[in-house]
Amino acid sequence: MKVISWNVNGLRAAHKKGFLDWFGDEAPDILCLQETKAHEVQLPDEVKLVEGYTSFFSTPEKKGYSGVGLYAKKAPESVQYGFGDRFDSEGRTIIAEFGDFVLFNIYFPNGKRSADRLQYKMDFYDAFLEYAEKTRKSGKHVVVCGDVNTAHKEIDLARPKENVKVSGFLPKERAWMDEFLARGYKDTLRIFNQEPDNYSYWDQMTRARDRNVGWRIDYFFADDEFAERLTGAFILSDVYGSDHCPVGIEIG
C-alpha cells in the first residue's frame, strides 16, 4: 500500500498546475492533502470526484484558509473531522480508520505570526498527542502524516543556526517532537534514509528551491509496532505545483 501526503498550498491552484495528471500517474492507495484553501463546494467536480477514489474534505470556518483532504481507493471504515474540541474550527484534521490502523491527516498550525499563534500551535500539538495516545490505547495502530510546521533536527533544514530563533525550529517545538517520538513513534523517513539535504518545503519568495535551501517539515510518523510493517519512505522532490513537495510511505 502506498500512502502519500502533500501540502498543495491551494488545491484549486494545484489543479491548474496539473494536480490530476500527477495524481493519475502516481496512483497512491491513499492521498492526504493539506492547505487545500477551499470549501468542498468551491472545488470542481473533477477534483472532488476522482475516478476510483472516495474523497473527504475538512474545511475551516474561514474561506481560503487551511483545510485538508483525503482520497482513498478503499473507503475507510470511519472518518472523523477534528479532535472534537476548540481546534476543529480551522479544518486541520481528518482521522480515518483503515483496518487495524488509524490515519491522522493533519495540517499543524504555523507559529510565526505571533506569540498567540505559537501558543496555539503548542496547544494543538498537545491535543493531537493526547488523542493519538487515546487511539493507541483503544488497540489501533497510529499513522500520522502532514505538514507539521517544525523541522526536528539540524539535518532537517539547510540553515539551522540562522533559524534557531524562528518558529519552525524553536527549541520548544523541537522538544515537543522529541517527546512525541519518545512515546513510541518513528519518523518514517529516517528509518530508511539518514542523509542530509532531504527537504519538503522551500520558500518561494527567495527561489530557495533552485538552491535546495529547504526545510523538512512534512512527515509520516507511525507507532513503533506498525513501523515494522513499512517497506519504504520517500520524498518526491521532483514534483512541483506547490512550495511543498509530496512525501510518502510504502506499507507491506
Topology of domain 2-251, CATH? Deoxyribonuclease I; Chain A (3.60.10)
Instruction: Give per-residue pLDDT as tens, 29-46.
Output: 999 999 999 999 999 999
pLDDT at 59: 86
Q: Which residues have a catalytic role annotated?
A: 147
User: In the chain, what percentage of residues exceed pLDDT 70?
Assistant: 100
- Report the C-alpha gap between 188 and 227 in whole angstroms: 7
- Cell 526536528: give the residue: 152
Torsion of Cα atoms, 204 then 62 then 97 then 200, to 10°? 10
**Mean pLDDT (the chain, rounded):** 97
The CA-based angle 71-33-49, given to 5 degrees, is 35
Residue 84 has pLDDT above 90, yes or no: no
Burial category of 67 from C-beta neighbours within 10 Å (exposed 0-12, middle 13-18, buried 19 and up): buried
pLDDT average, residue stretch 216-226: 98
Residue 243 has pLDDT above 90, yes or no: yes
